[in-house]
A and B are shown apart, each in its own frame.
Chain A
Amino acid sequence: MIVAPVLRLCGITKRFGSLVANDAISLSLNRGEVVALLGENGAGKTTLMNILFGHYVADAGTVEVMGQPLPPGHPRAALAAGVGMVHQHFTLADNLTVLDNILLGTRPLWRPGLRKAVARARVQALSQDFGLSVHPDARVGTLSVGERQRVEILKALYRDARILILDEPTAVLTPQETEALFRTLRLAVGRGLSIIFISHKLHEVMGVADRAVVLRHGRVVGEVATADTDRHALAALMVGEEVVPPKVAPPTPGPVLLRLDDVTTAQAGTATGLRRVTLDLRAGTITGLAGVSGNGQAALSDLVSGVIRPQAGRLHIAGAPVTHWTPREAVGAGIARIPEDRHSTGTIADFTLTENAILEGYRSRFAKGGWMNWRAARAFAEGIIRTYDVRCPGPDTRIRLLSGGNMQKLILGRVLEPGPRIILANQPVRGLDIGAITYVHSRLLQARDAGAAVLLISEDLDEIMALSDSIHVISEGRLSPGFARGTMTQQQLGLWMAGHGFADAA
């Protein structure tokens, strides 16, 4: 039996200036099917989905939903045809309730009476049917990231979506939340919905998708049933070459470059502070910090970055106690800081690549007597773009136009070029594709082998275990002893992450 696809994209082409973001891409989706859209950052996944959803108008090609062509450039038409999108960055109003967020935009403003009782019953029924537990009257601002995502999915379901597009839905989720999401997706497929799942986490794609379509440089380079392939083959398709896990040579530990001596930091709002943390970072080693999100990683990262100061205890750099401590002092002390949020902390979106490249060094290296040396700044940016393979139209491009991976490469170049002695890498590969991940990891290992002391903070235990010479676990602001590479299993670390084993365990 031949069933017509519910969604068919035909020869979609989209150019931005000289860049061809989508080059004659065709894709079809059948009823009850999960298709994974795979590709590195900048491969054209997001552009394609924006065209499908009417946010962009394609230069060529057609979109058909349930056999009917969609008029280009009309998101409402896509919505009406039953296409729902869950964006990577949520589009919810924090100060409204879950129910209000779902209803928002579904009815004309001037119609009196929202008939909330009916709506609430329907939302509750949907959340029951699809395993999306969330309280309809909770304020969205108080919800966790996982819950917010459920609200986004409910929003799409409430509008009778038959096709769900999820843009990197697991990038923000814990493993448990990811599992719950996959259960929901299976329920949805069971009810005849069709799903496009954008990701670059291959094990998830293998786990949840029936078929994978791989994009590279705006073209479809492969389309395979997940049953007929494996992770390695997919990864090779994505980056165009076989992915090799990093080879880690044995470390050659040197002197202690950064010491936290019995440091306690203030509790900032709901963020956990550090509680009497003692930690040594040695030259030539990578120290991994494992832990469940929100257990003091932010405080440790801010402390090493110079953003906050110890409330009690001391910081020592290369043996000397630190007295005055600000971001500028931290940079001056030779600390390379890769912040957790590259969009809002690491870069200034409307600054050019050049302006972003000198953000830390403008006073010391690119200005003399208060006058900027833009020629030197531009040359520095061009050097980073070359050396770190930042894909961009040029140093005068505003950085907001770059993909996350390329943004991260620029940050890497900015902090690594001066030859730092200490490197703080807070979630350095979150949201990046395989090619970029491999690249960032290899750069960190290179820096280690050149004698830098690296502090790697990550919520991805695999990453921590693969790279770290020594692992500490952080829980409720307390730090575990250091465990040498290979001495702990995932399960053992997991116990520490859950708070077991600490001396002052409550």
Chain B
Amino acid sequence: MSLNEPSTAIDDEQRRRIGEAMTQADLALPQVWLHYFSITGTVDEYEIDAYLNRMIALPPTECDKLAHAVNELIDDIPPRPRAPFRDEISP
């Protein structure tokens, strides 16, 4: 983990959007970390927390694993119910 390297614009953008995706989807950190861990994530939950709070940088691979973990969890969220047309309702 690179603690002292200055973060790049890409780092910041990815971090911000991961955080935003989590907030939007109402994903809690423990849940995200567990999933991240299951896809071979190697850093601890508190480090993810620190990363999301812009306190440390993570290696690019870990950032991508985290992003992927978040996306899989978002994919798992059941879609909102849709309104049916009349002929879709069986009598």
A joins B in a complex: no
Enumerate chain B interface residues (CB-CB to A < 8 A).
none
